[in-house]
């Protein structure tokens, strides 16, 4: 009887958490948040007009969020199994192979037509060695598509080592013989502010005991509605930040020399 009550309490708690998180997602603007909005947009653009059968490696792919964009390609993914376990990664991971990209990717030279490195380089303790290995397995004139954070808090600890500036990223790529380097900021000050405001709201509410959160939910709901409207405004105000020296992430496209 006691066990059944505990299960019922847990089930009720999970139900309310799912409900509250669902409402929070509805009241998130832009969809999936400022950070993911830009990355999604960048990846969709880069995946268009690829030739059928393009041989792709998605490095550090995690839950492989962009696999469906490459449905007509020969898509492979890899990750570091030891690190995924160490950080207690919650998503499912089932990759073609596992390796440490700073040491050896188990493929011959010039093997891939395209490599994706999406929000990965900040988790690599030796980015120079990783880029050297990516360069090796990429075919001549092959393309590297990469996103990296400029302003991002700690995550997937303890394997979170760097945020990047465009000049530092450009330096690392040139050092490893990549050419035709194009680096673009993804969002400016206003989008960065929107991301920070959302983080602050989550600090106040999502870490609360579920009972306290339910009791305070009318206040949370009101604040999230206001934040939705503020985020909408910030989204379009970002147009006026032309320099974007403060940005959420950089998107990068380059080729192997």
Cα 35 from chain centre = 8
- Measured at the CA of 113, the angle between CA 92 and CA 123, to 5 degrees, comes to 45
pLDDT of residue 8: 53
CA distance 2 to 17: 23
pLDDT of residue 213: 87
pLDDT of residue 6: 38
Domain boundaries, the chain: 16-30+190-240, 50-188+245-256
pLDDT of residue 205: 87
pLDDT of residue 5: 42
pLDDT of residue 2: 39
Q: Is 49 left (phi over 0), alpha (psi -120 to 50) or beta?
A: left
219 HSE (CA, 13 A, CB side): 8
pLDDT of residue 1: 44
pLDDT of residue 14: 85
pTM of the model: 0.89
Q: Could you tell me the mean pLDDT of each successive run of 10 residues in the chain, 257 residues long?
A: 46 85 93 95 95 97 95 96 88 89 98 98 97 98 98 94 98 98 98 96 84 90 97 98 97 96
50-188+245-256: CATH, from 3.30.2130.10, 3.40.1410.10, 1.10.10.10, 3.40.50.150: 3.40.50.150
Q: CB count, 10 Å around CB of 15?
A: 10
């Amino acid at each position: 009887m006691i066990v059944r009550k505990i299960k019922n309490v847990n089930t009720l708690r999970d139900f309310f958490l799912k409900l509250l998180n669902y409402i929070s997602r509805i009241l998130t603007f832009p969809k999936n948040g400022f950070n993911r909005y830009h990355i999604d947009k960048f990846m969709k653009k880069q995946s268009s007009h690829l030739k059928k059968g393009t041989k792709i490696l998605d490095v550090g792919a995690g839950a492989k969020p962009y696999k469906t964009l490459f449905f007509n390609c020969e898509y492979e993914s890899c990750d570091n199994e030891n690190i995924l376990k160490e950080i207690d990664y919650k998503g499912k991971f089932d990759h073609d192979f596992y390796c440490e990209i700073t040491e050896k990717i188990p493929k011959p030279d010039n093997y891939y037509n395209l490599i994706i490195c999406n929000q990965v380089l900040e988790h690599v303790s030796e980015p120079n060695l990783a880029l050297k290995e990516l360069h090796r397995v990429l075919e001549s004139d092959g393309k590297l598509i990469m996103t990296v954070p400029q302003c991002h808090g700690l995550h997937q600890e303890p394997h979170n080592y760097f945020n990047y500036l465009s000049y530092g990223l450009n330096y690392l790529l040139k050092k490893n013989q990549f050419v035709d380097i194009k680096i673009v900021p993804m969002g400016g000050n206003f989008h960065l502010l929107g991301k920070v405001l959302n983080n602050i709201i989550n600090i106040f509410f999502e870490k609360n005991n579920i009972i306290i959160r339910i009791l305070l939910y009318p206040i949370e709901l009101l604040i999230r509605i206001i934040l939705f409207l503020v985020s909408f405004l910030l989204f379009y105000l970002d147009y006026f930040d032309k320099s974007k020296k403060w940005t959420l992430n950089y998107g990068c496209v380059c080729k192997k020399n």
